[in-house]
Amino acid sequence: MKILALESSCDETAAAVVEDGRLVRSSVIASQVEEHKLYGGVVPEIASRRHSEAIVPVTQKALDDAGMTLDEIDAIAVTYAPGLIGALLVGVNFAKGLSLSAKKPLIPVHHLRSHIAANYITAPELEPPFLCLVVSGGHTHIVEVNGYTDLRVIGCTRDDAAGEAFDKAARAMGMPYPGGVEMDRIAENGDPMAFRLPHPKVDGAPYDFSFSGLKTAVINLIHNAKQKGEELPVPDLAASFRKAVVDCLVQNFVKAAEAFGSKKLVIAGGVSANSLLRRRLDEECRKHGWKLYMPALNLCGDNAAMVGAQGYYEFLAGNTAGLDLNACAEMPIQGPQG
Ligand code: ATP
Ligand code: MG
Ligand code: FE
């Protein structure tokens, strides 16, 4: 089954053709990041306008790269939640137009489920059940993936997402948006023990996270130093901050795996590209004899190939939509009913 997939939940306009959930025939991403950089973060209205301009040429290129016409496509999958509402609506409405004109089924896909599905492309043998750490710009969840469309959140962040914390701390260190990637690069040359930063825990919720106190601690360090006319060494700060975030992520994920008896661990989302997180989880999984799955680096961030992968399993589960499909800014990963 060939699925044409569309993604426009944030600042990437993406389209892909994916066969049977695993084989990527084409994947096109138009990123708006250079424009949003000017403002230090994503400006929602600009994002919507750029999606409107990009969605037709990006989709056409995905079809051309796959060497297919719309007639040869079996269904249209689209990210419908969660994300920036004006951005999502561009993809959803375009997908509805395609579905109507080409008379193809329409498959709504949850953005975080698709981040997880990036792993089905990277590891064709991977099947649920498994335990997944979803770490992205807007979310930090530990998810029990019991089936392709049967997911349960067992822990999440109480405040900032890991990616958001990386981006805000990186900004305070003078790095351009989105700072997570840059911080990861610079941290490689720093001393992670140079600064002692808090490792916040949530009382009574061993699988939940809290990153806002850690982010504020590093921002305060920088401001206090500035007031005294001092400059802190950025590589050491970056390395110490990265270590603190990764310590928290790894600690809770390992605790959850032990408690739930999971032997298959998966990571997903933009922050799953973090090199320290990947190394540390690799060590932990070797030590415990667990199998670790990580998305290929080019599938960690937002893309449409992952939407095509998840879309296939949503279709098999009977999850198609009518032309009254709407976008939702927020939606639990379990689905609309929560
Ligand atoms: P969500 O998926 O929650 O809706 P999003 O789509 O904006 O949010 P993603 O595209 O999944 O988020 O990921 C982007 C985030 O990943 C940004 O916060 C970015 O800084 C972070 N990120 C990317 N690479 C790295 C890295 N190597 N280390 C740390 N963070 C990273
Ligand atoms: Mg993005
Ligand atoms: Fe995302």
| 155-204 pLDDT per residue, tens | 999 999 999 999 999 999 999 999 999 999 999 999 999 999 999 999 99
Helix, strand or coil for residue 337? Answer: coil
Domain ranges of the chain: 2-116+299-316, 128-295
Q: With a 6 A CB cut-off, is 270 part of the ligand 1 pocket?
A: yes
The CATH fold of domain 128-295: Nucleotidyltransferase; domain 5 (3.30.420)
Which ipTM did the prediction report?
0.99
State which ligand 1 atom lies nearest to the alpha carbon of 112.
2
Alpha-carbon gap, residue 157 to 143, rounded angstroms: 12
- Check pocket membership of 134 for ligand 1, CB cut-off 6 A: no
Distance 263 CA to ligand 1 centre (A): 26
Per-residue pLDDT of the chain (338 residues; tens, 9 = 90+): 999 999 999 999 999 999 999 999 999 999 999 999 999 999 999 999 999 999 999 999 999 999 999 999 999 999 999 999 999 999 999 999 999 999 999 999 999 999 999 999 999 999 999 999 999 999 999 999 999 999 999 999 999 999 999 999 999 999 999 999 999 999 999 999 999 999 999 999 999 999 999 999 999 999 999 999 999 999 999 999 999 999 999 999 999 999 999 999 999 999 999 999 999 999 999 999 999 999 999 999 999 999 999 999 999 999 999 999 999 999 999 988 76
Topology alike, domains 2-116+299-316 and 128-295: yes
The third-level CATH classification (topology) of the domain covering 2-116+299-316 is: Nucleotidyltransferase; domain 5 (3.30.420)
Angle at 2 between CA 71 and CA 111, to 5 degrees: 115
Rounded distance between C-alpha atoms, residue 78 and residue 98, angstroms = 11
Residue nearest to atom 15 of ligand 1 (CA): 137
- Alpha-carbon torsion 328, 103, 77, 4, what sign? negative
- Among residues 294, 307, 285, the alpha carbon closest in space to that of 266 is found at 294
**Quick one: which atom of ligand 1 is closest to the CA of 302?**
10
